[in-house]
Amino acid sequence: MVSRAVEGAGFILVAVTGPGLIRRTAPPGRLTTAMGFWGAYQGISTFAGLVVGALVLQVVPWRVWWWGMAVLALAPLPWVLARVPRDASGGVRGAADGLARIGRTVRASAPWTAGLVFACYTLPWMAVVGFLPTIYRDGGMTGSWPGVLSAVVGAANAVGSISTAALMRRGLPTRVLIVPAFVVMAVTSVLAFAVDWSGLPAGSAGQFVCVTVFSLTGGAIPATLLRMIGELTPAGGSAPATMGLIQQLFNAGSFLGPTVAAWLATRTGGWHSTWWLTCACTAVGIALSVRLRPRSAVPAPESTAAPST
């Protein structure tokens, strides 16, 4: 458990600094696309991890799989050291200025609201996708199919995030994407879990389609919020601090989602009650997203590098 906590700390360091580095190094006109791919990392990793894991764990113990993940985590280091430019040293004065910027960011309401919106997305997404293999096995599915189908659902999330970035590059306003995404997530979760698919001709295939659309549409939310980081950061604040705050609330949702879903399934005797959780979260997410009041973005965010503070 201690080693997992240290692993989580490393993950936070990467997740918090990534968007800032992307903003600083992305070529002109490519920032939205780059942030869309960054927002897809959860779906991409879910797809790769579940597909490869389902196959590898058929022939090797889980400890071997974890060693492989450790090697994979170290693999990007040479590329990062070679391609990512060094930070300019700001000394003591720069550190004091950075702390002041972080303070202004934490006192602002927009980063907290955006973080809670993010949590309202990741909580139901992790609750559904995290338990999909178990749900499929409880339904009688055997072999590697539960992992493979769950991986496809995770990949749909990445497709949604990248597609949303493409739409935003073509001028689609960012804020109009969040509410419809939450609405579709709520509707598809009700169809997936409130309906008894075992008695219908479509069977589990219908539930699989609903969950896939749930994940695909949800991918619009991280892509949109990550693209709004600059607008959500208060004047004189720190964009990385905004990202860090949002990421912490995102992680809180990722932790609570599977926990609450498992509790509901235990109390109600099955996974059919999962839609209670997803609809409650999406309703709160809609209410909070309406309250988002990002400040006007600085001119031409696609072609100007954001400060690295």
**CA-CA distance, 286 to 187, in Å (whole number)?**
13
User: At which residue do the structure tokens 């920032």 appear?
Assistant: 31
**Residue 4 burial (CB < 10 Å; 0-12/13-18/19+)?**
exposed
Write out the two tokens for 160: 């949604």
For tokens 């999962």, what's the residue? 274
pLDDT of residue 94: 63
Ranges of the chain whose pLDDT falls below 70: 88-95, 173-175, 199-203, 293-309
Position 296 scores a pLDDT of 52
What's residue 97's pLDDT?
78
Looking at residue 25, what is its pLDDT?
Answer: 82
Look at residue 295 in the predicted model and tell me its pLDDT: 60
**What's the Cα-to-Cα distance from 84 to each of 21, 90, 116, 253, rounded to whole Å?**
8, 18, 31, 31
pLDDT digits (tens, 9 = 90+) for 127-159: 888 888 788 777 777 777 777 788 888 888 888
Residue 209 CA to residue 192 CA, distance in Å, equals 8
Chain centroid to CA 200 = 33
Q: How far apart are CA 160 and CA 162, in angstroms?
A: 6
Residues 6+ apart with CB under 8 A from 306: 20, 23, 24, 230, 239
- What pTM, to 2 d.p., does this model score? 0.75
